[in-house]
Structure 1
Amino acid sequence: MASFEAQQEVLDCSEYGNGSCPENERSLGVRVAMYSFMTGAIFITVFGNLAMIVSISYFKQLHTPTNFLILSMAVTDFLLGFTIMPYSMVRSVENCWYFGLTFCKIHYSFDLMLSITSIFHLCSVAVDRFYAICHPLHYCSKMTIPVVKRLLLVCWSLPGAFAFGVVFSEAYADGIEGYDILVACSSSCPVMFNKLWGTTLFVAGFFTPSSMMVGLYGKIFAVSKKHARAIDNLPENQNSQMRKDKKAAKTLGIVMGVFLLCWFPCFFTILLDPFLSFSTPAVLFDALTWFGYFNSTCNPLIYGFFYPWFRRALKYILLGKIFSSHFHTTNLFTQKETE
């Protein structure tokens, strides 16, 4: 009898929809505008980060531990733009998930993994800059290529194991009343975190690494101020290196700040939603998710604005000069930038 009643409850989709896509209430003009805007963001995300990947991979002068971390972070942003954002765009504009429940889980797992991977990369870059500026004598021994490889292994493996493990085990939904009915009846690829996993995701995947980054950059800029007061009394070679390290730290600090600004609202909503009986409107959550995606769009724009070498590398790529033999040894830095 209990089994029959449960089956009747599952079949009652009146509260959640009937599993088919509802009629889109947006006008054609609004949908065209949304598709155009999101397609533009996807284009910049994919090709901007691809340019960064090609630049650092191709030009020998850019083969440094810091740039290898930036390269891996650009791969993260590229994958988000190439594999995640197009499907999310269709879902957002059409108010429907057309791609099936299994692909829904795969899509969300990659989405979650890449978001956490980005913040782990930023944490690694903060550690790199900390040693470069606060402990410059130990930098070459601490931030070696093998160390960077181990950092990258952690940056990719831990978020991947967490995201795919939690999503495919459906541990995130334990105890959420009516979630099975929602999945069976909804056409929107619903993923709702319970209190335990929402808190775990926020603390372990966002708050802890963010606090670590803020602490490291606070120390970095405090030391940079001391260096600024003493910089004129240093030998020219140390003076030049300190200026370059300070500029790199400032640029990557801006990248970190943009990441926190873009992703904090989404992670905070995931934390609060189960404590508010999952009352967050779907359209708001969707908008916050896209605000997070735009971080991957902003990163190549930030690099292009603050790194003249990236603008030169991009120019050489567009002109096809990278297909010339031995061009990978080209100097991307002007005399002024090396001083």
Structure 2
Amino acid sequence: MSITAYQHNMTSTAVQYCFPEDNSSCIKEVRTGTGNIFLFILLSCISVCTVFLNLLVIISISHFKQLHTPTNLLILSLAVADILVGLVVMPVNIMGLINNCWYFGNMACIAVIVINYFSMASSLCSVMFIAIDRYIAVNDPLNYSIKITVCKTSVFIISGWFLFLLYIFIFLNFNGHLLPSQIMVICHGECVIYVKYPWITVDLIVIFVTPCSIILILYSFIFNVARRQSIAVRSVINSTSNRRRARVSFTSETKAAKTLGIVICVYLACWIPFYLSSLLVENIYSFSVLWTVLAWLVYINSFMNPLIYAIFYPWFRASAKNILTCRIFQSSSSRLNMFQENF
């Protein structure tokens, strides 16, 4: 539908434009009312909480030396990706829900789109690396410290981010979103994501099917190893000298398996509806009801991640307490013991 035909269908007395002086301006729609105000407040709270929780994770792992481990480095990577969602992606989309006009130009639109895709892709990359890390830790615990180091983990994180960033630029370039001159716009004042149908399939395979398959396969191995360990624990449980060690080992690995299982379930619940619908709709644009609901379901995953990965662990509760009480500003606070409880 052309912009002229679209404007003709609107009630003449209620028509407002994003840029009144521009004949090609989009029609302005400002959403008010009690229900909309409640929705904006709710989404704003989710955005603030996403930033706050992920910031706690970032400060905790960065500040306390005891938390400088390969696994926590992956959690830090996940928190950085998720905080971008709460800091940039969510506020921009909230503004879009309040007022559908985009006033910041094509360059800012491109930047927001890149940050949007990059934060989602890097979050997924971190989740996949965490699954790999947990698989090695459970399957080969004796050699884990040799195979997985902080340096190697850093290289994997940087490499993963670079590859996903390269894919994002290729994806946006072929869909006409990389350069201001390439951006497809129906009217002046919109920031729209149009995806060509072949690239929907490519994106589905690269961003969803392949990583999820890897995560599910690794988790199935972790579950089997945990089950074998439970059998081994029962076989040595009568030995007084080995009883506590066996129970601690079994509890640790079981917790890792359960935590990863929760992550997978939440991740799939947030992402499956979006990708299933993307196969049925050729163009998903920023201010449609369908896009809004499905996109926010994905964004909420960034709010849930710090809860799943961090709040369930005693070390995070201990570090958060030290941060919120400002103990981190004391001398030698970085060497405080975060593992006073059994982890």
TM-score range, shorter chain: 0.7 to 0.9
- Change in Cα spacing, 1:226 to 1:24, as seen in structure 2 (3 Å) is same
The 5-angstrom pairing of residues 124-273 of structure 1 reads: 124-167=129-172, 169=173, 171-172=174-175, 183-185=185-187, 187-232=189-234, 233=236, 235=242, 236-237=244-245, 239-273=247-281
SS of the equivalent of 1:27 reads coil
> Given residue 217 of structure 1, which amino acid in structure 2 is its aligned partner?
Y
Give distance in 2, aligned partners of 1:326 and 1:146.
24
Mark the CA change 1:207 to 1:240 in structure 2 (over 3 Å): closer, same or farther. same
Q: Which residue of 2 aligns with 1:49?
A: 54
Residues 29-68 of structure 1, C-alpha deviations (whole Å, 9 max, x = no match): 2332122111101111111000000111111221111111
| TM score, norm. by length of structure 1 | 0.85
Residue aligning to 2:302: 296
8 Å contact from structure 1 (residues 69, 148) kept in 2: yes
Counterpart check, 1:20 vs 2:53: no
Contact 1:172 / 1:198 at 8 angstroms: preserved in 2?
no
Q: Which letter maps to 2:202?
A: T
Q: How large is the RMSD of aligned CA atoms in angstroms?
A: 2.6
Give the conservation status (yes or no) of the 8 Å contact 2:85–2:302: yes
- Gaps (5+ residues) in structure 1? 1-8, 175-179
Tell me the amino acid that sits aligned with residue 249 of structure 1: A
Measure, in 1, the Cα distance between the counterparts of 2:145 and 2:307. 29
2:291 is the counterpart of 1:285: yes
**Amino acid in the other structure paired with 2:65:** K
Contact kept? 2:193, 2:286, Cα under 8 Å: no
- Residue 101 of structure 1 aligns with an amino acid whose one-letter code is N
> What SS class does the counterpart of residue 49 from structure 2 fall into?
helix
In the alignment, the residues of structure 2 paired with residue 147 and residue 279 of structure 1 have an alpha-carbon distance, to the nearest angstrom, of 40
> In 1, Cα distance between the equivalents of 2:24 and 2:75?
42
Distance 1:271 1:138 in 2: 43
* Structure 1 position 73 matched with structure 2 position 63: no
Asked if the contact 1:133/1:223 (under 8 Å) is kept, the reply is yes
CA apart distance, 1:319: 0.3
Equivalence for 2:98: 93
Alpha-carbon separation, structure 1, partners of 2:329 and 2:200: 48
Q: 5+ residue gaps in structure 2?
A: 8-22
Residues 331 and 279 from structure 1, CA distance in 2 versus in 1: closer, same or farther, beyond 3 angstroms? Answer: closer
How big is the shift at 1:303? 3.8
Identity %: 35
SS in 2 for 1:37: helix
Question: 2 CA distance for matches of 1:304 and 1:148?
Answer: 19
Cα gap change, 1:257 to 1:181, in 2 (>3 Å): closer
Deviation at 1:222, TM superposition (A): 1.4
Label 1:220 to 1:239 Cα distance change in 2 as closer, same or farther (>3 A).
same
Cα offsets for 1:302-332 (capped at 9, x unmatched): 2454112211211110100011111222222
The farther-off stretch of 235-244 and 55-64 is 235-244
Listed one character per residue, the Cα deviations across residues 192-219 of structure 1 (whole Å, up to 9, x for unaligned) are 1112211111101111001110110011
CA 1:181–1:205: 2 relative to 1, 3 Å: closer
Cα distance in 1, alignment partners of residues 285 and 72 from structure 2: 43
Tell me the equivalent position of 1:3. none
Matching residue of 1:62? 67
Q: Matches of 1:100 and 1:268 in 2, distance apart?
A: 31
Note the alpha carbon deviations across 1:73-126, whole angstroms, 9 max, x for none.
101101121122111110123223232222112111110111111111111111
Distance 1:92 1:163 in 2: 25
Task: Name whichever of 257-266 and 72-81 sits farther off.
Answer: 257-266
Residues 133 and 207 (structure 1 numbering): CA distance in 2 closer, same or farther, change over 3 Å? Answer: same
Range with greater deviation from structure 2 (305-314 or 286-295): 305-314
Q: 1:128 is paired with a residue of what secondary structure?
A: helix
Q: Check 1:16–1:158 CA distance in 2 against 1; reply closer, same or farther (3 A cut).
A: farther
